[in-house]
């Protein structure tokens, strides 16, 4: 049977609905938080009925998990592929992983999920455990492999990789939180690219093995003794 043009349009819209619903949910989760986001509001934002939403997601928790799996897990998967294919230095790999995170997460609404999890994980331990297992643990493993690669090759000095990775990731989390919390209050407005350049510069030089070549992350601004930019 040949479908009419209107039937084909309806079929395409039906296939697109899960993505439309997760996009609407992401907006509301970031704007309002997990607790204050209602499924009625998600349905309204997506332009469908609440009954339609339930055809695809049985609960708010399942909808949130879909937002995370569709938005964040592909970024980690790309990072894993990048790591497997990378043939350069560990420092260059870490730079690429951080830049990939910024382009895919940090500069997008997905960065708001970090603030949501920190503020609401205590009240919703189920989603906290889910996020910890599927995002944090896997992301930590990805960065851990890059740090260990540098230590094994002699590029980095020997430190506890677990602490090194935590110190690598913490400023990225802080940048995400700042964007959705205090950025509008800052009269100078934090420049994310400069922030990341400084972070990479400090981190890689902190790990640099004795006698190794100093790392530069990008256009890092130096400060002279009078406090003026050079």
pLDDT tens digit string along 8-32?
443 445 555 899 999 999 999 999 9
In this prediction, what percent of the chain has a pLDDT beyond 90? 77
Predicted local distance difference test score (pLDDT) of residue 198: 96
Q: Which residues pair with 208 in a beta bridge?
A: 156
Predicted local distance difference test score (pLDDT) of residue 224: 40
The sign of the dihedral angle between the CA atoms of 135, 178, 109, 195 is negative
Contacts of 95 (CB under 8 A, 6+ apart): 200, 204, 217
Predicted local distance difference test score (pLDDT) of residue 217: 54
DSSP structure class, residue 88: S
Burial 53-66 (b: 16+ CB within 10 A, else e): beebbeebeebbbb
Predicted local distance difference test score (pLDDT) of residue 6: 43
| Helix, strand and coil in the chain, % to nearest 5 | 70, 0, 25
Predicted local distance difference test score (pLDDT) of residue 4: 42
**Does pLDDT of 162 surpass 70?**
yes
Q: How confident is the model at residue 215 (pLDDT cuts 50, 70, 90)?
A: low
- Contact (CB, 8 A) for 94 and 144: no
Please report the domains of the chain, with CATH numbers, ordered by start residue. 5-60 (1.10.10.60), 72-207 (1.10.357)
**Cα maximum dimension of the chain:** 79
Cα–Cα distance measured from residue 109 to residue 113, given in angstroms and rounded to the nearest whole number: 8
**Does pLDDT of 181 surpass 90?**
no
């Amino acid at each position: 049977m040949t479908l009419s043009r209107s039937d084909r349009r309806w079929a395409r819209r039906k296939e697109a609905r899960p993505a439309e619903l997760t996009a609407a949910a992401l907006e509301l989760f970031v704007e309002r938080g997990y607790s204050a986001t209602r499924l009625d509001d998600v349905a309204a934002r997506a332009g469908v009925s609440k009954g339609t939403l339930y055809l695809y997601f049985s609960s708010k928790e399942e909808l949130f998990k879909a937002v995370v799996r569709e938005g964040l897990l592909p970024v980690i998967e790309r990072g894993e592929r990048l790591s497997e294919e990378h043939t350069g230095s560990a420092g260059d790999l870490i730079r690429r992983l951080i830049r990939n995170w910024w382009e895919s997460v940090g500069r997008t609404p997905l960065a708001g999920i970090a603030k949501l999890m920190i503020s609401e994980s205590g009240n919703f331990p189920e989603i906290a455990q889910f996020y910890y297992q599927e995002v944090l643990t896997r992301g930590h493993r990805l960065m851990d492999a890059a740090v260990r690669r540098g230590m094994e090759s002699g590029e980095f000095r020997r430190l506890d990789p677990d602490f090194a990775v935590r110190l690598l990731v913490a400023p990225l989390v802080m940048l995400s939180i700042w964007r959705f919390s205090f950025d509008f209050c800052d009269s100078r407005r934090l420049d994310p690219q400069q922030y990341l350049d400084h972070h990479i510069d400090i981190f890689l030089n902190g790990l640099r093995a004795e006698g190794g070549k100093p790392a530069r992350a990008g256009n890092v601004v130096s400060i002279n003794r009078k406090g003026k930019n050079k």
